[in-house]
Chains A and B, each alone.
Chain A
Amino acid sequence: MSGYGFYVWGSYIFSLVLIVWEVVSLKQRKKALTQQQSSNTVPASVLRGSANETTS
């Protein structure tokens, strides 16, 4: 890297760490939500009534 390894690799490693952190934290958030919802499910037939709702 012509003596610039610290700056070049530092940039890519920093970016990689942030991207991995974002993906992992999102997966954890999704997993926690799914677990939370699984104990409180409502029949799908109830859902269909609100499929066209765009505003509250």
Chain B
Amino acid sequence: MSDLLHTPLHDLHVELGAKMVPFAGYAMPVQYPMGVMNEHTHTREKAGLFDVSHMGQVIIEGSNFETVALELEKLIPVDILGLAENRQRYGFFTNAAGGIMDDLMLANRGDHVFMVVNAGCKDPDIAHLKSNLTGLTVSEIQNRALLALQGPAAERVLGALNPMAANMRFMDVATISLAGAECWVSRSGYTGEDGYEISVPSDQAVALATELLSHVDVEPIGLGARDSLRLEGGLCLFGHDIDTQTTPIQASLNWAIQKVRRTGGDRSGGFPGADVILAELANGASQKRVGLRPDGRAPMREGVQLFAGLDDEMPIGNITSGGFGPTVGGPITMGYVPIEYTAQGTAIFGELRGKRQPLTVMALPFVPSNFKR
């Protein structure tokens, strides 16, 4: 793994006994000695600390926020102009066919936009921004780590370091001091739990992580539990549940496209693939991402083909994420099916090791979200 990049917390992960694996060009902890199942449960019950420093942190600057917002809206079909200062929102880059190039978080930081993008997409994302934005400066932040503190105890833990953290609401963003470091903190995450994402100067990241881990309620959590947590939360993983071949409407991400960007809105369209996406919003998509729960105990994973009946020859779709949900206590999956199979309770089949096994269409998320709105 010598050619892999290291995050500022690499040596700490090794010290904590993490099993390191290659992920998006980085050596990342997939699990710690506690194990995926216990790490998952600990995060749902107390708080977990995740290293997400492999993700891309990007600053986009222009003469003022309005200029930046209007330029970014040419690439991202969400309401950026209407985002209040120090508020964050989920979004995605779309392509000309209406597909998703990457999903992201963006925040109005007054005179600039702060964006967090997926590790595997950060180079193409930054190139995409640079080549399509006029009059703006796009900078990748390379001297900051990114930590996520997730779970019901996160507020208490971070609030003890700085009471301002406890006063933040879901999707608020603030610059606050934590363990002596100037941190850019958002009250968000990707586990379905309340929590924070913390951008911290690289040279202070280990000290902050160590301080957080010294709390009795905080354990380090690896990518394995991060995946089962976000799957139970019904959250999409780029490259799996969403990609350049899936539109936001097919991905059931309609909620992320505010009215102002839809047909009839003040800033309707004007983003790549708007014709496709707005038509799907009006008329519905032919297929949708849904939650699917195998009736049996055997997990079904990404790539499993879905069938309408036991004897049908042609698959109707496939599973894009799947595994065991420790909080659900059984196997859970997400996948794409034609619109006529999307009603909750619809029974379909997945082909596992040559045998058709029943699954039921379920509401997402599998585990209720616990955000502090």
**Bound together:** no
Residues of B within 8 A of A (CB): none
- Chain A residues in the interface with B (C-beta under 8 A): none
